[in-house]
Structure 1
């Protein structure tokens, strides 16, 4: 029990520190962006989604669901009920054409970010969504023009025996590195590793 409890406490304090240390330039509660995130529709959306299990500091903390319907990508997730007494994080990310929006609720704080603001807060979301837009060539990925806080994101690729790793390295961000793993012949990542103040891993379930 102690072995489980101590990582939970460390995880909670790390996330709380990260949240409190950020300067929040955007604070909105306009519900227009989250009108599709109703509980009545959630089960049906989950059935058609690609599911990732989310690990923070090695602890399984949430499931993330990603869908692409008619060119509209949605990613959403929430901390498991059993952990919400420590930390409750709920989010919905929407991308369609050139527009991006991120709604997040952290404990009792609600925020909405748009477009470039998202790269500065959660850069891995728009990066992952790129792989859900159909078959994307390596050239398209390597030529992605991403800037965070007026500094570039360097992108490289490593070929392994049966998988490929795309490595994104922001030069001016609290997110230090994002690694996207693809198995040979597949388009969707089976694993994503995010290095920051709290290291996060996404593992594809279905």
Structure 2
């Protein structure tokens, strides 16, 4: 029963999108959510299948459904595919982020990108992104969310650059079919050119 899930899990592990993502973070960062993009655990899949077979013998349909859904969820996460059945309400997300330390305001740029304005360079960090993601965790699947941090009190071009990351992936990675969006007013490449020109003119 549901043996096709084993084949799908094995196939998924061979795809580029399902390869293990590099670990990220330091002791100074906040607790991070479980990261997506890791290969499907064959032992966990075997355990689910054994539980499904046992539940089938007793006619426990709820257990069968629960373990089947758990395997499907594991495969979606390995493929970096957000759960469309658990979208995050944008206004609820803004309300959840508002009380966090350093947060001045937030706004959704589009359906995937949440722009969070913070006050102070110490809040423009991966730790703040982790705290934002944890605040959204109970609202839905954060694999669909990219947090973009901007320091509204920045006094340098470097400090004004936007720090962006998907809640469940490493920096620079995006969920399946999730486009990368430029949140900075100036493209980072153009910003570097301008800095070089300014330095040369001094």
TM-score range, shorter chain: under 0.3
Instruction: Judging by fraction of residues, say which structure has more strand.
Output: 1
Relative to the length of structure 1, the TM-score reads 0.26
- Greater relative CO, 1 or 2 (CA 8 Å, sep 6+): 2
Instruction: Judging by fraction of residues, say which structure has more helix.
Output: 2
